[in-house]
Structure 1
Amino acid sequence: MAVSRLLVLKNYQQEDIEVTHEDQQRINSFATWNLKFKDYTLDYDEKKKELANLNDAEDELVIIDGDVHPYLIGETFFHLPNDRISDELSEAKEGLKLRMVDLEERIRDCKVHMGSLKKDLYGKFGNHINLEED
């Protein structure tokens, strides 16, 4: 088992803290979970904005005059009847909501793993390790 040493200055005194291979694995695991957490949170925020845009589009569809309007599918606009556009918007919203529920579960999972790792690492290293965002 590989063992390294982390030198920490505390009150102008040098204190040795032993960092085992398992400790380093936990630190690396925390970093991995933290990156996943950030990615999932960013993705969730984007989906939330998309959902708001779809809700706005649905509201605008009720307000505007006419029976046929352009609707973007892929990179092309198609002129579709209001009923079809409303169905497409509802379908897109349901897909986004499902994805957001999945992301919420993943975010919760990350928080659970990170919380457990924080508890272990702070338990051993105290304030000699910083696992918080700046």
Structure 2
Amino acid sequence: MSEVVVTKDDQASINLFGRLNNRYHEASNELASLKKKLEDLEEASNEIMISDEDNTKYLLGEVFVRVENDEADELIDNETERSKAEIEKLHEEMNQAKSKMEELKVVLYAKFGNNINLEED
């Protein structure tokens, strides 16, 4: 087998692939967490609707405060919108990373063939 020379640019491409791959997985974990948060917000909203109380406890930071149900609904709606926007942002970031990773795979596999492994287990 002949040895393949790894240039500085090749190493930079390999490093970029690694960073993109790590960020892709971090974003995937963040996405799962945000989806769980959306489910929790939906459940909280439903609980407020069926509640006989005029006010409810709402977690602000590390403290629960009593707020009117209408205000709690508004706070939940605002948090839901922020979470949905963050989910959209993460999807876009993941798509861009995946696209760039695919481009790098083509280039790196063309040069290194079976001498490099860019596939995940």
Q: Which TM-score band (shorter chain)?
A: over 0.9
Under a length normalisation based on structure 2, what TM-score does the superposition of the two structures give?
Answer: 0.93
Amino acid corresponding to residue 87 of structure 2 in structure 1: M
Choose from 9, 26, 33 the match for 2:13.
26
Q: 2:64 corresponds to which residue?
A: 77
Paired amino acid for 2:89 = D
Bigger relative CO (Cα 8 Å, ≥ 6 apart): 2
C-alpha distance in 2 between matches for 1:106 and 1:78: 35
Which residue number corresponds to residue 3 of structure 2?
Answer: 16
What does the per-residue CA deviation read over 1:6-43, in whole Å, with 9 as the maximum and x for residues that have no partner?
xxxxxxxx442222221111111111111111111111
Matches of 1:27 and 1:106 in 2, distance apart? 19
Identity, % of aligned positions: 36
Root-mean-square deviation over aligned CA pairs? 1.2
1:16-95 correspondence to structure 2 within 5 Å:
16-95=3-82
Matched AA of 2:70: D
Note the residue ranges of structure 1 that are not aligned, 5 or more in a row. 1-13
**After TM superposition, what 4+ stretches of structure 1 lie above 3 angstroms from structure 2?**
none
User: Tell me, which stretches of 5 or more residues in structure 2 are unaligned?
Assistant: none
Structure with more of its chain in helix, by fraction: 2
> What number of residue pairs does the alignment pair up?
121
Q: Greater share of strand residues, 1 or 2?
A: 1
Larger radius of gyration: 1
Give the C-alpha shift of residue 69 in structure 1: 1.2
Asked if residue 115 in structure 1 is aligned to residue 79 in structure 2, the reply is no
Distance in 1, Cα, partners of 2:59 & 2:76: 11
Report the counterpart of residue 86 of structure 2 in structure 1: 99
TM-score scaled by structure 1? 0.85
Deviation at 1:67, TM superposition (A): 1.0
Per-residue CA deviations over 1:41-64 (Å, capped at 9, x if unaligned) read: 111111111111101111111122
